Amino acid sequence: MAERGPVKQVANNKKAFHDYFIEEKYECGIELFGTEVKSLRQGKCSIREAYVSIDHGEAFIEGMNISPYEHGNIMNKDPLRVRKLLLHKREIMKLAGQSALKGYTIMPLSVYFKNGRAKLEIGLARGKKLYDKREDRMKKDLSREAERDYKVNLKY
């Protein structure tokens, strides 16, 4: 199916890339109610403390905060409720097997709209040690410094 429109980013989890190595990425749908979708379209979502759990062959996201819709009155749901993720059964089984290994977890990476539907990108993640974080910061500083030197040389 051809892509009909641009992908609209709602929320991004930068902390996940800082604290974890992302091994694999998956795109999945989220089971939402109407007022939650309206709130997402306004960009009121946080996945910073969220994580994905697998229970009885189904995947759920816990800790994802979708703020209540302002005009939603009694139709608003709990902002931190557990939401079901829409994945294929074989993807869920693969994730369950890999997350059972020591040191692996399933992290939400970003929330976005694709073809009018709310999507969640999740990743199979392995925790970084302190020295890994230092190494990443050092590489980033070196590349930033090299880029700055390159820009200075272009001006002359």
Which has more confidence, 30 or 16? 30
Tell me the mean pLDDT in the region 10-25: 85
* 26, burial (CB in 10 Å: exposed 0-12, middle 13-18, buried 19+): buried
CA separation for the pair 72, 118 (Å, rounded): 19
CA separation for the pair 114, 121 (Å, rounded): 11
Task: Give the pLDDT confidence score for residue 116 in this predicted structure.
Answer: 85
CA-CA distances (angstroms) from residue 146 to 53, 134, 149, 152? 41, 18, 5, 10
Tell me the mean pLDDT in the region 25-33: 90
**H or E element, residue 142:** helix 130-155
Task: Give the pLDDT confidence score for residue 5 in this predicted structure.
Answer: 63
pTM of the complete model: 0.75
**H or E element, residue 66:** strand 65-66
Judged against a pLDDT cut of 50, whether residue 39 lies above it is answered with: yes
Task: Give the pLDDT confidence score for residue 1 in this predicted structure.
Answer: 47
Task: Give the pLDDT confidence score for residue 129 in this predicted structure.
Answer: 77
Q: Where are the alpha helices (DSSP H) in 12-129?
A: 14-19, 34-41, 89-99
Asked if residue 19 lies in contact with residue 122, where contact means CB atoms within 8 angstroms, the answer is no
Structure token pair of residue 102: 């020591």
Judged against a pLDDT cut of 80, whether residue 149 lies above it is answered with: no
Structure token pair of residue 52: 């994905």
Most confident among 26-30, 65-69, 79-83, 147-151 (mean pLDDT): 26-30
Tell me the mean pLDDT in the region 104-110: 90
Please give the mean pLDDT across all residues of the chain: 84
Q: What pairing do the DSSP bridges indicate for beta strands 117-127 and 20-30? A: antiparallel
